[in-house]
Amino acid sequence: MTGIVVKNTGSWYVVKTDDNQLFQCKVKGNFRLKGIRSTNPVAVGDRVRITSSDSGHEQVGLITEILDRRNYIIRKASNLSKQSHIIAANIDQAALVVTLRHPETSTIFIDRFLAGAEAYSVPVIIIFNKVDLLDKDDMHLLQLFFNLYESIGYPCYGVSALNNERSLCSINDLRKVLQGKTTLFSGNSGVGKSTLLNALIPGLDLKTAEISDSHDTGMHTTTFSEMFDLPYPDNDSPSESGYIIDTPGIKGFGTFDMEREEVGHYFREIFEISKKCRFGNCTHTHEPGCAVLQAVNDHNIAQSRYNSYLSMLEDKDEDKYRSKL
């Protein structure tokens, strides 16, 4: 039988077969010995082949093969720097949920996520949540963020999961953006990802938590990755029009398996302008005739984006990437 992994609980995987049966599955014993340098060789979104076994009333199976992946998105494992963690596989797009306030998402975190997705050819949309909490100055800053990221090809949406009337993009309009696609939802803890998913999928009722007043940070409310059916826009019936993969909130996004000289390739505007550099192996840090440095000086490349590029060259300690702007 074949199916898709819809939930990962660490030791067990829930597989939805092509005929809509659900199986609780383990991974075949020698599966981890095939050179997969990952803490989770099987990820939500994977198409897999399973064999079933009789276990009383519960349908139990064994994952024997991962079918070819169309793509995946990966990050450095939090505790094992030499290993990776596959966030999700076979996705059409990633939705990065961020907030300007309560808590503040750093541009370094945003840009690292974008570069990681770019490396694995995963399109990204950026969802700015909690816009109802922004004052006039914050709204001006939000517009600057929109101008920056949309100018380099990343669509941006401003929403309020709790106050739809204050949203720049309504919840139903956001559903239309997700329609017909498998979308990975990711973001820092505390940005309201679970609350937003509860608004997008009526009846989902994911656990949510308040932001810490003292540290202005969030708590982990999503423990495991899971795929949910997205209802059709303008209709709260369970008709499927897409899928959302919910993932635990992350503090930082450490890139994995990216060579130093490749980093600039995954910043779209830097890659484009770098074609005009005098030297083909230019690192865009000190070389004469560097078109990228000139573009930064001329404000044609945002200083924040260039700083993120430098951070990826210089430092792989992902615990720093929640730092302030």
Q: What residue ranges of the chain are covered by domains with CATH 1.10.40.50?
A: 260-320
41, two tokens: 């060789």
What topology is assigned to 2-66 in CATH? OB fold (Dihydrolipoamide Acetyltransferase, E2P) (2.40.50)
Sign (positive or negative) of CA dihedral 21, 22, 26, 31: positive
CA dist 78 to 8, 31, 41, 100, 109, Å?
17, 22, 15, 25, 15
Label the pairing between strands 93-98 and 124-128. Answer: parallel
What is the model's pLDDT at position 212? 47
User: Which CATH code of 3.40.1360.10, 1.10.40.50, 3.40.190.10, 1.25.40.10 fits the domain covering 260-320?
Assistant: 1.10.40.50
Q: What residue ranges of the chain are covered by domains with CATH 3.40.50.300?
A: 72-246
Enter the pTM of the model: 0.86
DSSP secondary structure string for all residues of 63-102: EEEEPPPS-EEEEE-SS-TTSEEEEEES-SEEEEEE-SSS
What is the model's pLDDT at position 13? 94
Gap between the Cα atoms of 63 and 27, Å rounded: 5
User: Which CATH code of 3.40.50.300, 3.30.2130.10, 3.40.50.720, 3.30.360.10 fits the domain covering 72-246?
Assistant: 3.40.50.300
Averaged over successive runs of 10 residues, the pLDDT of the chain (325 residues) comes to 92 92 86 60 93 76 92 72 79 97 94 92 96 96 98 97 92 94 93 94 78 48 80 58 86 66 94 96 95 98 97 64 46
What is the model's pLDDT at position 253? 57
Q: What residue ranges of the chain are covered by domains with CATH 2.40.50.140?
A: 2-66
Helix (H) or strand (E) holding 246: strand 240-246
149, two tokens: 């990221």
